[in-house]
A and B are shown apart, each in its own frame.
Chain A
Amino acid sequence: MIELPEGTRERIHELQELSDKAEDDDQGARQELRRRLAQEAPEVVARCSDSARTYRRLLAKRSSGSSPLVQEAISERARRMALELAGENPTPLEVLLSERVASLWVLVELQEALLAAWYYKAEGASPGFVLQMARLQESSNRRYLGAIKTLAQVQKLQGPSRVQVNIGGNQVNVSR
């Protein structure tokens, strides 16, 4: 099980509460949300990114059938996919969102391969088993598409307002 650290989980819960209030047009909550995001988002995003990478390694290991070479190939392909999706000069949140898409892509591919392998087994699989596997795959596919949509929304809505500045040789992305 990939579990977020307790502190991170609490912060995310608090951010969600603030975000819900702010979305209900609570100006105070929005100000507080901005302050909290500026203060805490880098660490929370970093923790989530750690968990996302662990999850992707777990999926790649399961997909590889105990072959270290295949495992490495899957990890590398997912990593490149995440990089490509994140685009140029991504914010840490965009990197995280891209990593989530890449992880879910590995999961969906793995589930498809497992289901196909069961279809072609000589003795076949029971209808109940195939149905449950198909439901799992459908749910993962929905999440995968949802992850792509959120990434696209964040890139579209926040992209044009992003400004890149160079401070002491470091590139820094500043969002509005």
Chain B
Amino acid sequence: MAWERRGDGVYYYKTERQGGRVRKRYIGNGELAHSIAHADETRRRVWAERKAIERAELDEARSLASAGGELYEAVEVLAVAELVASGYHRHKGQWRMRRRD
């Protein structure tokens, strides 16, 4: 969506996708064209603001979730090491005591 110079005048065009093709639609340069351009601009701004909020929220959620990642893995290593040291081993996902232990 943009104002484009054609000859002596400036005209508002809307870009639309129709059946997989991008088409430019002429709107004009009158009062109605200005109102439509204003509405489009407002809609774009609101969308961009919402996207920015969502991105920030997602970044924070990701950072909180991954913050404990290393800790989670470390604790898992300690638990497994403790069981292995006690003579257990994993068999098809189940912990079993080794016979000779």
Contacts and interface: CB of A to CB of B under 8 A. Distances in A.
Contacts of A126: 50-51, 54
A110 interface: yes
Nearest to B94: A153
A96 B53 CA distance: 36
B78 A111 contact: no
A42 to B, nearest CB: 11
Interface of A is mostly: helix
A148 interface: no
B22 interface: no
A37 B71 contact: no
Interface in B56-101: 57-58, 60-68, 70-72, 74-90, 95, 98
Contacts of B66: 1
A81 interface: no
B72 A33 contact: no
Interface stretch (A10-18, A67-75, A82-90, A164-172): A10-18
Contacts of B51: 126
Contacts of A55: 67-68, 71
Interface string A123-159: 1011001001100100110010011001001100110
Interface string B1-44: 00000000000000000000000000000000000000000000
Interface residues of B, number: 36
Size range of the chain A interface in the assembly: 35 or more
Nearest to A33: B85
Nearest to A150: B79
A150 B64 contact: no
29 contacts: A1-B66, A2-B67, A4-B70, A15-B78, A19-B85, A33-B81, A33-B84, A37-B85, A51-B71, A52-B68, A52-B75, A55-B68, A59-B64, A93-B78, A97-B79, A100-B75, A103-B68, A114-B57, A114-B61, A123-B50, A126-B54, A129-B57, A129-B58, A136-B61, A136-B62, A150-B79, A153-B83, A158-B82, A158-B86
Given A12-B78, A150-B79, A154-B83, 5 more contacts: A2-B67, A12-B77, A19-B80, A25-B98, A30-B85
